[in-house]
Amino acid sequence: MKNLWKTLAPSRSAFANTPATIMGTGVTSTDGAPNAQLLLAQTTLRSDSDMSDLFDPWWGFDHWNEPLMIGAGTSEHAVCHGDSGGPLVVDRGHPVQVGVASFAHESFFGTECDDAAGFAELANAQLAWLAQTVPSIVPGWGSCLSPTGSPGTPHALYGTSSFPGAKQDGNRWWSIWCEGAPATVKVPDLRGETVSAAQDDLAALGLHVGGVGSAIDNSCELINLVMAQSPAPGTTVSPGSGVNLTVGKRPKNPCP
């Protein structure tokens, strides 16, 4: 099964009531006997507001942590004791695991298995931790689009030290990102332009003027204009690269 990478809608409310599958070897009722057989049931994902109503009763504390949890189940199809650690799966053209069974519904009278349960959500910091702990899952995420729009591969980090772009999870730092091939641009033909015009053309492509030299222009056609450049026009370079310019200089002999 694949995991949550780029599968669910950005809005948490958007995936409420999405069909889902739960499975495990737990009991089939609150007071049921242990079960050694792996069972599965079709159910639905639940919204955070639904789960807050269930797990944040007026007599208790705030138990529903929206960034870390996802809810699923109904009064007829829910996980129970012994199902902890089991997967919560949705169909995205292939099975996608979006959560891990964590705890069952608890009423004023004690823990019951008669409604939606809480699952540790495979997203954000928790997914980064899992990827750092079990790196072999990352290739299963498939391809992704890098910030430049090019196809790339996903990466994840989770640790005690901060790094560029990291987000904080308690006293830990994490990030999940898509890394693609570096973007490239082609060097424009700057010959015949003034240095100022060349600077503008390069800046529009994310490039800049490197060095500016001069050479005698015996033709007298490119005096104070770009005679040559390096890299040559049409060369593929990375954004931020510099282009060296050679500007024509008036010869000692009078121009024709």
Could you read off the pLDDT of 90-143 as tens digits, one per residue? 988 888 888 999 888 766 555 568 888 889 888 888 899 989 999 998 888 888
Burial 67-98 (b: 16+ CB within 10 A, else e): ebbbbbbeeebbbbbbbbebbbbbeeeeebbb
Q: Which residues of the chain have pLDDT under 50?
A: 1-13
CA distances from 24 to 21, 45, 117, 122, 142 (A): 10, 17, 13, 18, 27
**Structure pTM?**
0.62
- Helix ranges, the chain (H): 48-55, 124-133, 195-204
Helices then strands, counting H and E runs in the chain, come out as 3, 17
Amino acid (one-letter) located at 256: P
CB 230 within 8 A of CB 178: no
Model pLDDT, residue 109: 54
Domains of the chain (ranges, CATH numbers): 12-122 (2.40.10.10), 185-249 (3.30.10.20)
What's the half-sphere exposure (Cβ side, CA atoms, 13 Å) at 107?
A: 7
